[in-house]
Chains A and B, each alone.
Chain A
Amino acid sequence: MRRGIAIAAALLLLALPWLLHAVLPANQAGFWTGNILGRALVFGIIAMSLTFLATYGGFVSLAQMMIAGVAGYTLAIFVEGAVPRIVGGAGYALAIPLGVLAATLMGLLVGAIAVRTRDIYLLMITLSLSMGVFRFVETNITWFNGYEGIRNVVGPSLWGLDFRNPWVFYHVTLGTAVLLFAGVMYLVRSPFGLVLQGIRDNPRRVAALGYNVALHRIAAFGVAGFIAGCGGVLATIYNIGISPGTIGLGATVNVLIMAVIGGLGHPVGAFLGSFIFTVFDTFAATVYDRDRFNTLIGIVFLVIVLASPDGVLGVGTRLRRLLGRRAADK
Chain B
Amino acid sequence: MTVFRTSLRNLLAHKGRMALSAVAVLLSVAFVSGTLVFTDTMNTTFDKLFAVTASDVTVSPREADPTDESPDTGRPESLPASVVAEVRGAKGVADAQGSVSSMGVTVVDRDNKNVGPTSGAPTIAVNWSPYELRSVELVEGHEPRGPTDVVVDRGTADKHGLELGTPLRTISADGDFTAAVSGIVEFKVTNPGATLVYFDTATAQRQLLGKEGLFTQVMVDGEPGVADTALKADVAAALGDGFKVQTAAEVADEGSEDLAGFLDVMKYAMLGFAGIAFLVGIFLIVNTFSMLVAQRTREIGLLRAIGSSRRQINRSVLVEAVLLGLIGSVAGVAAGVGLAVGLMKLMSSMGMELSTRDLTVAWTTPVVGLALGVLVTVLAAYVPARRAGKISPMAALRDAGTPADGRAGRVRAVIGLLLTLAGGGALWAATQADKAGTGSLWLGAGIVLSLLGFVVIGPVLAGGVVRVLGVVVLRVFGPVGRMAERNALRNPRRTGATGAALMIGLALVACLSVVGSSMVASATDELDRSVGADYIVQNQMGAPIVPQAQAAVEKVAGLDHVTEYRPVDVRITDPRGTTSKEWLAATEPSYPGDLRREVTSGDLAAAYAPGAMSVGSDYATGHGVKVGDTLTVAFAHGSTARLKVAAITADTGNVDNGAMYTNVTTAAAHLPAERMPASALLLASARDGQEEAAYASLKEALAPYPQYKVSNQADYKEDLKDQVGQLLNIVYGLLALAIVVAILGVVNTLALSVVERTREIGLMRAIGLSRRQLRRMIRLESVVIALFGALLGLGLGMGWGTAAQKLLALEGLGVLEIPWTTILTVFVGSAFVGLFAALVPAFRAGRMNVLNAIASE
Q: Are A and B bound to each other? A: no
Binding site for A on B (CB under 8 A): none
Query: Which residues in A have some Cβ–Cβ distance to B below 8 Å?
Result: none
